[in-house]
Amino acid sequence: MKIVSIAISKKKGTRKVQVDEASLIQDYGLEGDAHAGPWHRQVSFLASESIEKAKKNGLDVTFGDFAENIATKGINWQKVPVGTKMHLGDSALVEITQIGKECHNKCAIYYIAGDCIMPREGIFARVLKGGKIRCDDMVRVN
């Protein structure tokens, strides 16, 4: 189980831009990301397998296009219960707070990509312990 993509954006409801590494800040989220702040959805996760499935279904998408912060390989996020703590890289620790989300209206991602899988397959967490994360860092259950 590992991180395959890290992405941030300055505005909510837009595609995110991939970065090689980022800092997770305790009780805040990813440094420089619009979704960071003192709430329960500080960081978003999506399985790279979900992105690949969307591609096979004809969507022209890549990492960050669904506004996910972290894409992972080898984790079935739908089976990770709320409250689970996950280690990211050497020092960061997050707690899963929400599975999926309600979208009240279609965002830019829906119109650009043709669909948004985050409401169905996205996972959200809050940062319990900050730290630097990088692509290829391991993800493990606490």
Residue 137 confidence (pLDDT): 98
Residue 57 confidence (pLDDT): 81
Residue 125 confidence (pLDDT): 97
pLDDT digits (tens, 9 = 90+) for 111-126: 665 666 666 788 999 9
Q: Which CATH architecture has domain 2-141?
A: Beta Barrel (2.40)
pLDDT score of 77 more than 70: yes
pLDDT digits (tens, 9 = 90+) for 15-55: 899 999 999 999 999 999 999 999 999 999 999 999 898 88
pLDDT digits (tens, 9 = 90+) for 86-105: 999 999 999 999 987 666 56
* In the chain, domain spans: 2-141
Decide: helix, strand or coil at residue 136. Answer: coil
